[in-house]
């Protein structure tokens, strides 16, 4: 990757996956400095995670904060404190960030947007997900399982009224059970659900798994009113534009956005919710992740989301608090 990260604050969350460290190395290769980094430790004590965390430390990343991923207050305090201390040039390694914390980080950046000069996202795709391993039993082919809680991500409460129709917009990935639980919890009047757009997958064949999840959920829910939603697994801004077009005129319903595909489509969804403040962003906190979640480290991509952050419709904070 040919880009400069000199002077940029780097946000990252290492995990147990093979792809965990690749963006951090690219940040250093681009002139980034470890002291200008904020590292969130949420992955626990697994052997693979501890190996990757050691590699981060060996690279010089010492500003590591241990955070309880089940505690939304702790997540928000880290996101807000870190953004307050950041430079005006921010680089987010979204590869292994839990979606809830990633959403909070984007919200914090949006309310401090007057101090932001540049916001970029790095993302490393996997080479394969365990859900694609046809040599394994179905009982082993899961990414995450169990639900600790279902909640609106802090900063994305939407505009909710009990007498309105409930429109749930779901971006299907590979985690069928968690997505089903969220949809049932929200009890939608209308459900707009789709898999990623053709040829937008970040992993070869991942779109087929996403399509299976969408089809199965339609069978299980048997909902009387369905809609479609276009989104792109490999594009933040295309997803942002598509969702904004879909939801900008839907101001009379309770709108809940559930983005369970890639981190890139999730960021596009979060940016949409930062612009359309009547949209609620909902997340299911998983109890556990599969230690074999993915295999290998694929392509490293970079995205510039400065304009989308700078034009957010959140209440700005003009000074540190």
pLDDT interval class at 319 (50, 70, 90): low
CATH code of the domain covering residue 86: 3.40.50.11700
The answer to whether position 89 is within a domain reads: yes
Asked whether residue 111 falls in the same domain as residue 16, the answer is yes
Looking at residue 74, its pLDDT comes to 97
Asked whether residue 162 falls in the same domain as residue 175, the answer is yes
The answer to whether position 90 is within a domain reads: yes
Q: What is the rounded CA–CA span in Å between residue 243 and residue 231? A: 7
| CB-based burial label for 162 (10 Å; 0-12, 13-18, 19+) | exposed
Nearest to 80 by CA among 114, 37, 110: 110
The answer to whether position 317 is within a domain reads: no
Q: Is the confidence at residue 210, as pLDDT, over 80?
A: no
Number of domains in the chain: 2
The answer to whether position 1 is within a domain reads: no
Asked whether residue 139 falls in the same domain as residue 226, the answer is yes
Asked whether residue 84 falls in the same domain as residue 114, the answer is yes
Q: Whole-model pTM? A: 0.93
Q: Is the confidence at residue 212, as pLDDT, over 60?
A: yes
The answer to whether position 319 is within a domain reads: no
Q: Are 264 and 235 in contact (CB under 8 A)?
A: yes
Average pLDDT over residues 211-223: 77
Asked whether residue 19 falls in the same domain as residue 111, the answer is yes
Please state, for a pLDDT cut of 90, what percent of the chain lies above it: 69
Asked whether residue 84 falls in the same domain as residue 216, the answer is no
The answer to whether position 184 is within a domain reads: yes
pLDDT tens string 179-191? 889 998 999 999 9
Instruction: Determine the straight-line distance between the first and last CA of the chain, rounded to whole angstroms.
Output: 36
Asked whether residue 263 falls in the same domain as residue 184, the answer is yes
Which domain covers residue 267, as residue numbers?
A: 134-291
Average pLDDT over residues 205-234: 80
Q: What is the rounded CA–CA span in Å between residue 135 and residue 233? A: 25
Low-confidence winner among 49-63, 82-96, 286-300 (lowest mean pLDDT): 286-300
The answer to whether position 266 is within a domain reads: yes
Asked whether residue 259 falls in the same domain as residue 150, the answer is yes
Phi first, then psi: what are they for 259, rounded to 5°?
-105, 100
Q: What is the rounded CA–CA span in Å between residue 110 and residue 269? A: 14
Residue 6's contacts (CB-CB under 8 Å, 6 or more residues apart) are 30, 31, 32, 33
Q: Is the confidence at residue 163, as pLDDT, over 80?
A: yes
Asked whether residue 138 falls in the same domain as residue 269, the answer is yes
Asked whether residue 194 falls in the same domain as residue 75, the answer is no
In DSSP terms, 167 is beta-bridged to 190, 255
pLDDT tens string 119-155? 999 999 998 878 888 888 888 887 888 899 999 999 9
Q: How confident is the prediction for the chain on average, in pLDDT?
A: 91
Looking at residue 152, its pLDDT comes to 96
Angle, CA of 114, 268 and 48, to the nearest 5°: 100
Looking at residue 223, its pLDDT comes to 65
For 203-218, b where at least 16 C-beta lie within 10 A, e where not — what string? Answer: beebbebbeebbeebe
CATH code of the domain covering residue 140: 3.40.50
Looking at residue 321, its pLDDT comes to 42
How many other CB atoms are found less than 10 A from the CB of residue 313?
11
pLDDT tens string 106-119? 999 999 999 999 99
Q: Are 167 and 188 in contact (CB under 8 A)?
A: yes
DSSP E strands, 86-189:
89-93, 118-124, 128-129, 144-157, 166-171
Q: Is the confidence at residue 30, as pLDDT, over 90?
A: yes
User: Residue ranges of the alpha helices (H) in the chain?
Assistant: 22-29, 47-58, 72-84, 99-111, 176-186, 206-221, 236-247, 263-275, 306-310
Asked whether residue 148 falls in the same domain as residue 181, the answer is yes
Asked whether residue 231 falls in the same domain as residue 176, the answer is yes
Q: Is the confidence at residue 25, as pLDDT, over 70?
A: yes
Q: What is the rounded CA–CA span in Å between residue 178 and residue 49? A: 23
């Amino acid at each position: 990757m040919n880009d400069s990260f000199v002077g940029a604050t780097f946000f990252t969350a290492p995990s147990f996956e093979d792809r965990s460290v690749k963006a951090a190395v690219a940040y250093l290769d681009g002139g980034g400095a470890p002291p200008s980094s904020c590292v969130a430790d949420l992955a626990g004590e697994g052997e693979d995670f501890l190996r990757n965390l050691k590699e981060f430390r060996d690279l010089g990343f010492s500003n590591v904060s241990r955070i309880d991923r089940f505690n939304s207050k702790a997540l928000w305090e880290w996101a807000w404190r870190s953004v307050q201390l950041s430079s005006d040039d921010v680089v987010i390694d979204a590869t292994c960030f839990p979606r809830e914390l990633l959403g909070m980080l984007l919200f914090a950046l949006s309310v401090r947007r007057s101090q932001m000069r540049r916001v970029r996202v790095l993302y490393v795709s996997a080479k394969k997900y365990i859900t694609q391993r046809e040599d394994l039993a179905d009982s082993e082919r899961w990414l995450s399982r169990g639900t600790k809680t279902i909640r609106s991500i802090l900063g994305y409460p939407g505009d909710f009224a009990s007498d309105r129709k409930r429109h749930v917009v779901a971006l299907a990935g590979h985690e069928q059970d968690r997505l089903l639980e969220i949809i049932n919890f929200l009890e939608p009047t209308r459900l707009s659900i789709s898999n990623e757009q053709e040829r937008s997958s970040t992993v070869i064949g991942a779109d087929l798994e996403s399509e299976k999840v969408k089809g199965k959920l339609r069978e299980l829910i048997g909902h009387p009113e369905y809609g479609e939603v276009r989104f792109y697994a490999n594009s933040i801004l295309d997803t942002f534009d598509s969702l904004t077009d879909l939801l900008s005129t839907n101001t009379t319903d309770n709108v809940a956005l559930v983005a369970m595909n890639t981190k890139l489509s999730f960021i596009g969804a979060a940016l949409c919710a930062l612009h359309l403040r009547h949209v609620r962003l909902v997340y299911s906190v998983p109890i556990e992740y599969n230690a074999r979640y993915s295999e290998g480290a694929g392509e490293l991509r970079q995205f510039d989301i400065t304009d989308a952050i700078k034009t957010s419709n959140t209440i700005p904070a003009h000074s540190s608090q």
